[in-house]
Amino acid sequence: MSADLLHEVGRALREGRGIRRRLMPWGRLQLDRPLPFLLVYRRPPGGHDPGTARLLQGEAAYLLVEGDPGRASQVAALLAAVVEPLRSRFGAVLVLELWADAPADPHSGPGFHLYAPREDPPQRLLEVLESELLTIRLRGCRARVALDYRDGIAPPGLAPLWDAAEARDLGVIPLGLAVRPVYRDPGGERLYPFVLAHLHRHLSQALRHAFFVFAHDYTPKRPLHIHQLGPGALTREVRRVDRALGEIASEFDLVLHVTPVNAAEAWARFRDSDFQRPPRFLYRPRDADPGLLKRRLFQIPLETVEDPALWRIFQAKRDELDRQITLYADRGTARFLAGSRALFGEVEAELARLARALAERLAEREEGGGEPLPVDEVVARAEAELARYRRQDPTFAARVERREDVTGILVSRGNFLVGTDARVSEARLAPALAHEIGTHCLTYHNGARQPLDELRVGMAGYEPLQEGLAVLAEYLVGGLGPGRLFQLAARVLAVEAVLGGADFIETFRLLRRYGQGGRAAFITTLRVFRGGGYTKDVVYLRGLRALLAYLGRGGDLELLYVGKVSLEFLDLVEELRWREVLIPPVLRPHHLERPEARARLERLRGGMDVLRLAEEVVA
């Protein structure tokens, strides 16, 4: 190992910078920034240890010794170059070495063996780490944790990194953690990738709790949250994977390609048939090859992403894109509905009961909102709304597009599309703009300003939260009427019907029996039958219900505007905010500043479900 490298490592840490180096041919050093801890992995004698090194990758500070460095003195010299500036900055350094324990029965639960020094062990840290490890479960089995105190902590067959006197002189507190290798078969030949990913994620959380306690007990560093001790910089591999997923997501617009281009004509013919002949829908040509998209999708090297939080996000997005591309390919076929069911799920019984209760309570109150405004007026008001946000951030690039091939109004790829047959009344225009521009356009823009494309194109499963947030905007501007809630309930009932085997005429008649007007019932039925059975409309009421519960629990509303985020991954979004990977939202909906909107939001924070919300908007 060259003196220049050791000097470079020490200088970077003294200057408050991180450093990442491949130590050819035997290892890798990854220091995101100066932190009072270091994880170490040394490949055991014999060199066969699949999966274990993965457990510490993705942390902010680690050293991998993946081969024989020739002389142990090289590792000692590198450790000294790392530890000395950290000890000068923090006063003490925690060095935790991780290795695989004895082979495990494939059906056993997770297990950990902690090793701590006999002299002055970090007792509170050990108690916290033990408690966190005990929360890890696998296949329903809770982890077992053992703790031993010894001099000379090291994996079997390897010498300790330093003896007790050397560690004391360096300001190092050494720990060892042997992990039961439940992530591979007992012979050590095959990895179990899902088990490894699960263990990696939860072990990462446990380790950060330990680092947090160490920082507070032994150093002047005072992190406010465990995730502030996670990596803040995005690696080249993460950026490559994120960019590749974003490019594929941007190459096809599923909603646009399953939206009929002849909706007005189809309605006229359906009406003229006295609602007896199901309409025939026409669609725009597809402009991407599904097979090529899938080939590119599965060539993306997700395995290079070490960060367990980002790996989980990207893996879910790849799975979702796979399903979406299949739908894109299956448009107009009998397979489409099955794919939509897989993407958006069933109508859960509780949601169906809520939809029926709303429909029965609000059917007599469906309102038309008055005569529709001229399309020119809708376009002008939308352009004024965009200009208002552009004054706050000149990079806000959303535009209004008048389209003949779009029904009504919608947002696609951050732009506001207005169909030439759009029917928007004066009463509905302000809430519609808050819904489409104040939510969908803003979260697209805020996501585009993030360092991850994932927040622009949308995390896997983002639609329920996105649509719930958009309906919330309608409520906050005072435009969520009983008719709108009835519409959301009707959409759920229509999805339930099509999933139950109902045809177009049967679904239309069901909605008419619940009291929906003829044209409105046609549009609702069209939405769930487009493409062959597109069941996305279940997400509006589902998302609103989940969002109200989130706000009632004291959830952070601003977190939901950092981009197109998913309720399922809000814990990961919050983690990435603490790690300063994500930035705060660049734009916030201007209606949140209105006193009446703040008052409504406070009522929601006091606890309100959808039925109580319906009572308020009816009153």
Mapping DSSP to helix (H, G, I), strand (E, B) and coil, where does residue 143 land? coil
Close Cβ partners of 331 (under 8 Å, ≥ 6 residues apart): 257, 258, 283, 286, 531, 532
- 20 occurs within a structural domain: yes
**pLDDT class for 175, splitting at 50, 70, 90?**
very high
State the pLDDT at residue 363. 77
Domain that holds residue 22: 3-232
| Mean pLDDT across 576-603 | 95
State the pLDDT at residue 421. 82
Residue 58 structure tokens = 């993705």
CB 13 within 8 A of CB 31: yes
In whole angstroms, how far apart are CA 354 and each of 88, 462, 463, 485, 488?
A: 61, 22, 19, 11, 11
Whole-angstrom distance, CA of residue 115 vs CA of residue 498: 59
Candidates 154, 149, 87, 162; CA nearest to 123 is 149
- 94 occurs within a structural domain: yes
- 254 occurs within a structural domain: no
State the pLDDT at residue 23. 86
- 333 occurs within a structural domain: no
Residues 292-309 have pLDDT tens digits of 999 999 999 999 999 999
Whole-angstrom distance, CA of residue 212 vs CA of residue 131: 14
Q: What is the DSSP letter of 569?
A: G
State the pLDDT at residue 561. 97
Instruction: Give Cα 50 distance to the centre of its chain.
Output: 28
State the pLDDT at residue 388. 95
- 21 occurs within a structural domain: yes
CB 446 within 8 A of CB 561: yes
Indicate left, alpha or beta for 533 from its phi (over 0: left) and psi (-120 to 50: alpha). left
| Mean pLDDT across 419-431 | 88
Residue 113, beta-bridge partner list: 146, 178
**pLDDT class for 101, splitting at 50, 70, 90?**
very high
Residues 317-331 have pLDDT tens digits of 999 999 999 999 999
Total number of domains in the chain? 1
- Find tokens 């490592």 and name the residue: 9
**pLDDT class for 108, splitting at 50, 70, 90?**
confident
pLDDT reading at 484 higher than 70: yes
According to DSSP H, which parts of 411-502 are helical?
426-435, 442-448, 454-457, 463-476, 482-499
* Reported pTM: 0.92
Give me the chain's average pLDDT, please.
93
Residues 568-585 have pLDDT tens digits of 999 999 999 999 999 999
CATH number (domain holding residue 96): 3.40.630
State the pLDDT at residue 345. 95
Residues 185-236 have pLDDT tens digits of 888 889 999 999 999 999 999 999 999 999 999 999 999 999 999 999 999 9
- 256 occurs within a structural domain: no
- 462 occurs within a structural domain: no
State the pLDDT at residue 324. 97
- 129 occurs within a structural domain: yes
